[in-house]
Amino acid sequence: MVKLAENAGFGFDKMESNGLQYNQSMPEYQLAFDSVTICFTLTTVDERGVAKQVTPQVDYLMKCLSSNSSFTRDVLQAAVGLKDRENFRLNYLKPALELGLIEMTLPHKPNSKLQRYHLTEKGVEWKQKIQNETS
């Protein structure tokens, strides 16, 4: 199927070869009656890339977290000195979660009143690396 589609000029073989080269994975094809959906798996960046992508807000949030405790969103929000929940969620919490620096204690219940956040192993390593660079 891929070679036939390539003959039609859709570039499937290029997507596959580039997927293997850059992400070490093949795209996944989902066929429907009238369409084809292609899903790509994206790899995370390495530590050097993470340090470059961390915003000042996430950096400040990371400084407020200790490596052996978990905190509620309210406590973290108060620690960074914000009152607006949406601003905190969009600029601090969500980017830190997406970078894999923090994680939820109840990932299957993101809106639970018992939800807490703690540093991941990657977050602990990043925090130690930044502390060593500033020392």
What's the pTM value of the predicted model, to 2 decimals? Answer: 0.60
Return the pLDDT at 48: 45
Dihedrals φ, ψ of 102, to 5°? -130, 165
Residue 4 has pLDDT above 60, yes or no: no
Contact 104, 117 (CB under 8 A): yes
Q: Could you read off the pLDDT of 68-125 as tens digits, one per residue?
A: 789 999 999 999 999 999 999 999 999 999 999 999 999 999 899 999 999 999 999 8
Q: Could you read off the pLDDT of 11-22 as tens digits, one per residue?
A: 666 767 766 666
CA atoms within 13 A on the CB side of 68: 0
Return the pLDDT at 93: 94
Rounded CA separation 128/51 (Å)? 12
